[in-house]
Amino acid sequence: MVEDAKPAAAELIDPSTIFAKTLRSFFAPVQHYLDDPSVVEVMINGPEEVYVEQRGQLTLTDARFPSEDALVAAIRNLLQFVGKRLTDDRPMIDARMPDGSRVHVAMPPCSRKGPCITIRKFKKEGFDFDYMVQCGTISQMALDYLRISIQCEKNLVFAGGTSSGKTTLLNTLGNFIPAHERIVVIEESSELQLKLPHVLQLETRGPDRYGRGEVTIRELFRNSLRMRPDRIIVGEVRGGEALDLIQALTSGHGGSMSTMHADTPIDTLNRIETMALMSDVAIPLNALRTQIASSIDIVVQMSRFRDASRRVVQISEVLPVDENYRYRLEDVFVMKLPEGGRKLEEGALQWTGHRPALMDEVQGRMMAQETESLAPLFADRS
């Protein structure tokens, strides 16, 4: 009986559970807000100033940490959980909570108010497709268009400003990927929670106190190509890895997705171009633009409105560059205001009348019967 009890006791000891419980005690002053599903962001500006975003409004709370030392202890405990550490050379760092919430930490001297933490929460269960349509995040027609785009292995970029819903939308639409495919996800801090059976998540690592051991997104991306991925999802493209991504997408790794900070679809392509030029590979601008236009198929533009809603406002098809090597885009869906409408929140995502080239491929794959809402898009070009 004693021998049987030992394994049972060992099974009760889960390091991640211990860390999570310890972390709750350190963040006790704001734990109520972390547990509240209506709160999407918690902003700790030093030990005595805590704001939350709730239902689209920023509110100053009465939450306080006992002292700056208590706040620093909470930060260090959190970083220990994810295997990261703050140093004098690296006073700002990204991390994540045990529940997957994204955390950004800023320490003095970069932060003038003392230790600052911004916690972006993510829904574990994600969004239901029907709910997304009902709340106006996307129209049924646009949702079906993106679904078949993903199933036809088109490359998508989700663009938008900060907190516009890019990652949430990618996380939700990622479930359209066929279950038999092998997905490699690359992120600085893990946020995506794809509910697929074969997902390999890779995360960057910062350098140690001696500047050693750093693993960048670019290194992860290059290594991921040797992992036999069917699709590659990059949480966010920010630098020279854009060129590696472009070249991979033009060499057979279709169906990949990424997010990017940009205000319009054309800005998205221009940003990819700028970041690709940041790499250590010299490439003629005309050749680069040609590769970008052939590697990115669709840009999905997100926006956040005054009522705190996040919506798709534009879906554009990327066409080949023109004779002067300028980017060309064709809007498939755009948000339009109703007659007499004045507020952007009153708008709805509507089909522009453009028939995407994707429709020919869909018909060729005998998928038309699965897309009743897209019937107008299957009409003849004439």
The predicted model scores a pTM of: 0.82
* Per-residue model confidence as pLDDT tens digits over 341-358: 666 677 889 999 988 888
Residues 23 and 97: beta-carbon distance below 8 Å: yes
pLDDT band at 99 (very low <50, low <70, confident <90, very high): confident
pLDDT at 126: 57
* Cα–Cα distance measured from residue 75 to residue 80, given in angstroms and rounded to the nearest whole number: 9
Question: Per-residue pLDDT averaged across 237-263, rounded?
Answer: 86
Reported as a single tens digit per residue, the pLDDT across 124-182 is: 555 678 888 888 889 999 999 999 999 999 999 999 998 888 988 998 899 899 999 99
pLDDT of amino acid 339: 67
Instruction: Please determine, for residue 377, whether its predicted confidence score (pLDDT) is greater than 90.
Output: no
Residue 150 tokens read as 């993903």
CA pair distance 167, 158, nearest whole angstrom = 8
What confidence score (pLDDT) does residue 31 get? 92
Is pLDDT at 382 greater than 50 in this prediction?
A: no
Please work out, in degrees rounded to the nearest 5, the angle formed at the alpha carbon of residue 65 by the alpha carbons of 64 and 71.
140
- CA end-to-end span of the chain: 81
Sign of the Cα torsion 4, 5, 6, 10 reads positive
Average pLDDT over residues 193-208: 86
What are the distances in angstroms from CA 258 to CA 96, 156, 199, 238, 328?
Answer: 20, 7, 15, 11, 20
